[in-house]
């Protein structure tokens, strides 16, 4: 196999390669870092920390607190997202948390784009942020957001639990009464079965009610066994 002579490229091109590796995964970044002294020097520049997705780190690999703080100091979108989620959903620091989520969303971090839109809809009654998410991507991103259980999930605050009750009281009955889709299973018409009782032929309103319901049912804050207020 003929290998590409990466080290023969101009340094600014090498730097772009390192940034792309960091964006792809921490494993790729570390492999590149170990390949040569020049790659190691480029990989250790603080600016690279902006591109690293810390949520791509495999289970069992602990990220040092110093590295997470360095990423946050560089405006890393994934750490802005993690801190925003913990502030809003566990520490009841709503304004600070929402601001952090918006910063991560504005940077194009898709988990943040989704979570910020869902958060605005549930807690502020604003659905305008849904327009920033392609409908064909909603299911994939939603599953990605709800699947993350890093460390031990922190408990939700009362604010979340209260809005979950309000959602169930005001939207569950209208979701199941709507004739936009066929009932596919004879399950209890409740939040727990919102993803299996109707097929995919949903109207737009029911589509988003279902997505909001799945978030309220399955989403857990990200704790990482550390307090992000120290960043």
213 lies in the same domain as 112: yes
**Three-state SS across 72-122?**
HHCCCHHHHHHHHHHHHHCCCCHHHHHHHHHHHHHCCCHHHHHHHHHHHHH
* pTM of the predicted structure, to 2 decimals: 0.80
Q: What is the pLDDT of residues 10-64, one digit of tens each?
A: 566 666 666 666 666 666 666 766 666 666 666 666 667 888 888 877 655 667 7
Residue 1 pLDDT exceeds 50: no
- 153 & 220 share domain: yes
* Shared domain check, 90 and 67: no
Q: In whole angstroms, what is the distance from residue 52 CA to residue 61 CA?
A: 15
Check pLDDT > 60 for residue 109: yes
Residue 19: how many other CB atoms lie within 10 Å: 19
Number of folded domains in the chain?
2
Indicate if 202 and 177 belong to the same structural domain: yes
**Domain range enclosing 12:** 6-73
Please report whether residue 1 resides in a domain. no
138 with 187, same domain: the answer is: yes
């Amino acid at each position: 196999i003929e290998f590409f002579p990466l080290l023969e490229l101009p340094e600014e091109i090498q730097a772009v390669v390192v940034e792309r590796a960091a964006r792809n995964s921490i494993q790729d970044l570390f492999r590149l870092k170990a390949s040569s002294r020049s790659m190691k020097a480029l990989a250790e520049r603080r600016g690279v920390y902006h591109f690293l997705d810390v949520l791509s780190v495999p289970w069992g690999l602990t990220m040092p607190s110093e590295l997470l703080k360095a990423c946050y100091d560089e405006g890393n979108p994934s750490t802005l997202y993690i801190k925003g989620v913990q502030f809003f959903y566990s520490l009841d620091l709503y304004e600070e948390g929402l601001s952090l989520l918006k910063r991560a969303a504005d940077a194009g971090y898709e988990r943040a784009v989704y979570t910020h839109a869902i958060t605005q809809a549930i807690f502020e009654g604003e659905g305008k942020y849904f327009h920033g998410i392609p409908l064909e991507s909603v299911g994939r991103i939603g599953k990605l957001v709800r699947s993350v259980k890093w460390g031990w999930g922190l408990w939700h605050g009362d604010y979340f639990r209260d809005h979950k009750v309000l959602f169930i009281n005001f939207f569950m009955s209208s979701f199941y009464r709507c004739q936009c889709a066929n009932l596919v299973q004879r399950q209890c018409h409740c939040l727990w079965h919102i993803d299996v009782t109707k097929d995919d032929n949903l109207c737009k309103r029911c589509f988003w009610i279902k997505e909001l319901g799945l978030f309220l049912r399955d989403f857990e804050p990200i704790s990482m066994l550390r307090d992000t207020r120290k960043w």
